Amino acid sequence: MQFIVQYQWEIFITIEILSVISLLLFGILRYLLNKQKLSSLAIIAFLVLLLIEASLGILIYQETKKISTFQIIIIIFVIYACTFGIFDFLKLDRWIRKVVGKWRHIELLTEKDYAVLKRRKNIV
């Protein structure tokens, strides 16, 4: 447990890097390699990493009995991922489908996507 407390920031940063990699892997698997089911595993990996991050914050608190900057940062990251992060991910997903669809000369956006883009006054 002392190892976790001593290297809490390094562990947190490693988890964040793995989270970004899992999201990139999701995009690559889903849109470039067209592996829908496999891309779901990348999203599951992202969610598991998010839970590990939250657990890390709880473990550090249980060990130190103090709320530190570390826990506050983790709380902010987890709240963002569960709220605004979802909407940002959906926007990014829509943008990727638009770009990859143009690149591959296929239509990846749905009517619902076009309605959302129109509502947000984006040019498609």
Query: Do 91 and 73 share a structural domain?
Result: no
Neighbouring C-beta atoms of residue 17, cutoff 10 Å = 11
Dihedrals phi, psi of 121, to nearest 5 degrees:
60, 35
Domain that holds residue 100: 83-124
Neighbouring C-beta atoms of residue 99, cutoff 10 Å = 12
As given in the structure block, the two tokens for residue 43 are: 């999203």
Query: Do 99 and 45 share a structural domain?
Result: no
Q: Are 79 and 71 in contact (CB under 8 A)?
A: no
pLDDT for the residue numbered 36: 86
Query: Do 63 and 25 share a structural domain?
Result: yes
Query: Do 2 and 31 share a structural domain?
Result: yes
Query: Do 5 and 66 share a structural domain?
Result: yes
Query: Do 115 and 56 share a structural domain?
Result: no
Q: Per residue in 4-55, pLDDT tens?
A: 989 999 999 999 999 999 999 998 898 888 898 999 999 999 999 999 999 9
Whether pLDDT at 120 is above 80: no
pTM of the model: 0.81
Query: Do 40 and 95 share a structural domain?
Result: no
- Report how many domains make up the chain: 2
